[in-house]
Amino acid sequence: MNKILEYDKAKDKLLLKEKIAQFFMPAAFINDTEEEIQALETLIRDHGIGGICFFHSRASAATNYEGKKEVVWNDKSFETLVEKAKSTTDLKRRTALYEKAQEVFKQEVPWVTVAHATVFKAMSPKVKGYQISPFGTEDFTKIELK
């Protein structure tokens, strides 16, 4: 396998054909056949393409390619469940809707989550009732000092 060069070295060492290959990113799908995977391997090995773009399905890739501004989801889709959860004040219902949204997300895999922030809050042990909000807001109405 080729060694990865730093930019300063690569710009001087790569042939024009190799530089142009860096602009290409063919699509790979989770249900690709062995033949399709081998074709991608050939592009990488023989032509030194710049990367691969992974999609859940050919339908999701077509949506991106055609530039559709809105993807139509069914009733039980991730977006619909999240919107319903945001609009309810019933904690049990909201929790159930978010849990269902996570299940749908795992099944549909509409995008790949690359990073996830972990939030920490330091406070005195005297503070009771504080909860970290997933939306980054602060709710001080249920906080007590003991």
pLDDT at position 86: 92
Please list the rounded mean pLDDT of every run of 10 residues in the chain (146 residues).
71 80 78 83 82 69 55 63 90 91 75 64 86 75 87
The strand ranges marked E within 15-98 are 27-29, 53-55
Q: Give dist(CA 50, CA 13) in Å, integer.
A: 16
pLDDT of residue 33: 81
The pLDDT value given to residue 116: 58
pLDDT at 70: 55
> Would you report the helix, strand and coil content of the chain in percent, each value rounded to 5?
45, 5, 50
Structure tokens that stand for 23 in this block: 């602009």
The closest alpha carbon to 4, from 16, 20, 22, belongs to 22
Separation of alpha carbons 56 and 109, rounded Å: 6
Q: What is the DSSP letter of 140?
A: -
**Residues 52 and 28 sit within 8 Å (Cβ to Cβ):** yes
Confidence (pLDDT) at 21: 79
